Structure 1
Amino acid sequence: MPAAPRVSPAAVFTPEEWVPFQRRSPFAGLLLVAHCWGVIGLAMAAAVMWPVLIPLAVMIIGTRQLGLAILMHEAAHGALSQSLKLNDAVGHWLCAVPVGTSLTAYRPYHLAHHRFAQQSEDPDKGLSDPFPVSPASLRRKVIRDLTGQTFFKQRILLPLAILRRARVEGANHAYDAAVVSRSIIAFLAVNAALATGLALVGAGWAFWVLWLLPMATWFPFVTRIRNIAEHACVEGSADDAFRAARTTRASWWERAFIAPYWVNFHAEHHLFMHVPCWKLPRLHRLTRSKPEGVRMVVAPGYLPVLKLATRG
């Protein structure tokens, strides 16, 4: 099986340039997890006090639910804590399980994606292969996301299909089946605890409107946008390590509502996957200053990427 092209940091940077990216912070990743839950909590509190803010809160919370998935991804690379036990415990119970995933199932799957990025053995290749699609096709996908149909398929139909050993049409089955089958009980338990906690403070409705609704609508929507932006329609991605993924420049509102925690710097992440996410902006600037950096695929924003992905 051919592995994806690789590049050594030593081939691009001087030893002095690379030193800052080798250092690991003992607390930065944990602070990001605290930040993510803090934003969710503040958005919930604001919407409970001022219900007119509920639509805005749904978008903010849905984006931070994606943020939890992104921080789970950091844990899969061992980047949340210098302690592997703490890294895995936080990554699993505070990041993965609340949004219905499993760090244990995700890690080997994701590392296979890095090893075979855009090769035929890449387990994520099916997410980018269909693009470009027609504008009508993308609209149908977005409607399914924002109306909860994607969530229903992944959280209801797929678990039932696993129990019956059946197939769910359109599922990324290798990943979805592994994650859902290993996380459903923990997901239900953690969400029951969250619902109980909100009920005890007199805001039981907030679980349904300010936690489950974002997870069923905005979270799948921004996850789709993220998947499209990272690998769809990137020419030469299977042959050139500098083109294995796309980096998308994100404005403040895109970081708030689409791409939290520097997930938009995906080309840099594929080049040097052990660099923590909070160092990716600096890595982006340094890499782009090198002759090899001009080969990277960098989009000016998410709207241009969606236009590219619907040029068919």
Structure 2
Amino acid sequence: MMRAIETTTYAPDAPDGTTVGLPAMVVRRLSHLHPRLGVAHILLEWAAIVVAAWVTETFWHPLLYAVAVVWIGSRQHALAVMAHDGVHGLIVRNRRANDLLAELLLAWPVLMPFRSYRHVHRLHHRHLGTERDPDFARNRPERLGRRGGATEFARIMLGLNAEQRGLLAFFGSGDAAIETETLRARPWLRGAYYAVVLGVAWTFGGLSLLGQYWLVPLCTWFLFCMRLKGTAEHFAVEGSDALNLSRSIRPGPLARLLIAPKQVYCHIEHHLYPSVPHYRLRELQDELMKQPGYAERAHVTGSYFAFLRECARFGSVRSAP
């Protein structure tokens, strides 16, 4: 069964003419799928959400609820990260089963139009950092010089710029311009899915719980994490190849838990080897760091705070006369 998105790998040339890449045997080992592990990750995240909601309802306190919102929002982000794996066909080997799991348990719960996103993401991988890259307009370097780095970054994180509003519209309804005849039925299926969820919640008196423990985290911490992740991956970077057209982060344990779960911070590595599932990305990064020239050339930032400092410096330089 073919993977959902091409798994072409890149081996950029170093200045001395050598190639920065991994042996094929290592790539095959890291790309080997473990379907049970992939499904276990999904079930674990859903269990973490249910337990957090139950504990908060049982021992209600406003501060506990605030913690639950952050925790559940971070787990929703984990679902979105695994939906991205599903786009690449990295959950289970069977394509139909992969897509079914990804849509029902990962993408649709966080309002992601899975099939449209797959198309857009394919273009992002093929045309990284060019005008044909759908993500490029939201992350192009000159935007940091328009109002200054800090101001522009704040507008992005608050969803106040046109590109981010367009992204929210895409998540709500997909992109009609790229829908094929086969995909045009998907919004109806998504609508039926949400109708069933709302109907079940209403039948069992759980509409308020759905709002408290799903929609509030989704509209707050989840969106914050998605915006921070998206900007950290491609914002304020300029380069000529896959090693410096993206950014990887080396976050601490708390950030890995609440902001960047499922090793999503290894973004350069994902672009180099998109056949590697999320649970092997840190190992992939460690292998690449052993390769001569990789650590020197790859745009790897030590933390999300360091990324914010990079944005400030980048914007100041670009806005200078």
Q: TM-score range by the shorter chain?
A: 0.7 to 0.9
Residue 276 of structure 1: CA displacement?
0.6
Residue of structure 1 equivalent to 2:254 = 253
Q: Structure 1 residues 219 and 67 mapped into 2: Cα distance closer, same or farther (>3 Å)?
A: same
The answer to whether residue 149 in structure 2 is matched with residue 134 in structure 1 is yes
Give the 5 Å matches for 1:77-226. Answer: 77-129=88-140, 130-131=143-144, 133-142=148-157, 144=158, 170-172=165-167, 175-176=170-171, 179=174, 185-198=188-201, 203-226=206-229
Letter in 2 for 1:308: E
With CA pairs under 8 Å and 6+ residues apart, which has the higher RCO, 1 or 2?
A: 2
Letter in 2 for 1:267: I
CA contact (8 A) 2:20 2:292 kept: no
CA contact (8 A) 1:127 1:227 kept: no
Q: Which residue, out of 42, 48, 69, partners 1:58?
A: 69
Residue of structure 2 equivalent to 1:7 = 11
Q: Give, in whole Å, the separation in 2 of the partners of 1:170 and 1:197.
A: 30
CA contact (8 A) 1:69 1:96 kept: yes
Residue 176 of structure 1: CA displacement?
4.8
Residue of structure 2 equivalent to 1:244 = 245
Q: SS at 2:35's partner residue?
A: coil
Residue of structure 2 equivalent to 1:73 = 84
Residue of structure 1 equivalent to 2:181 = none
TM, length-normalised to structure 2: 0.79
Q: Give, in whole Å, the separation in 2 of the partners of 1:178 and 1:196.
A: 21
- Alignment deviations for residues 90-137 of structure 1 (CA, whole Å, 9 cap, x no partner): 011111111112221111110110000111110000221123643234
Residue 14 of structure 1: CA displacement?
2.9
CA contact (8 A) 1:63 1:222 kept: yes
Q: SS at 2:104's partner residue?
A: helix
Residue 11 of structure 1: CA displacement?
6.3
CA contact (8 A) 2:20 2:293 kept: no
Q: SS at 2:27's partner residue?
A: helix
Q: Give, in whole Å, the separation in 2 of the partners of 1:67 and 1:112.
A: 23
TM, length-normalised to structure 1: 0.81
CA contact (8 A) 1:251 1:301 kept: yes
Residue 50 of structure 1: CA displacement?
2.1
CA contact (8 A) 2:20 2:294 kept: no
- RMSD of aligned Cα (Å): 3.0
Q: What is the total number of aligned residue pairs between the two structures?
A: 287
Letter in 1 for 2:73: G
Q: Structure 1 residues 176 and 215 mapped into 2: Cα distance closer, same or farther (>3 Å)?
A: closer
Q: SS at 1:310's partner residue?
A: helix
Residue 226 of structure 1: CA displacement?
0.3
- Alignment deviations for residues 191-228 of structure 1 (CA, whole Å, 9 cap, x no partner): 45445555666654221111111111111111110011
Letter in 2 for 1:179: G
Q: Which residue, out of 45, 62, 66, partners 2:54?
A: 45
Q: Structure 1 residues 258 and 279 mapped into 2: Cα distance closer, same or farther (>3 Å)?
A: same
Task: Give the gaps of 5 or more residues in structure 1.
Answer: 154-167
Q: Structure 1 residues 188 and 173 mapped into 2: Cα distance closer, same or farther (>3 Å)?
A: closer
CA contact (8 A) 2:233 2:246 kept: yes
Letter in 1 for 2:233: E
Residue of structure 2 equivalent to 1:159 = none
Letter in 2 for 1:273: P
The answer to whether residue 38 in structure 2 is matched with residue 29 in structure 1 is yes
Letter in 1 for 2:75: R
Q: SS at 2:144's partner residue?
A: coil
Q: SS at 2:22's partner residue?
A: coil
Letter in 2 for 1:33: I
Letter in 2 for 1:121: R
Q: Give, in whole Å, the separation in 2 of the partners of 1:217 and 1:267.
A: 27
Q: Structure 1 residues 116 and 262 mapped into 2: Cα distance closer, same or farther (>3 Å)?
A: same
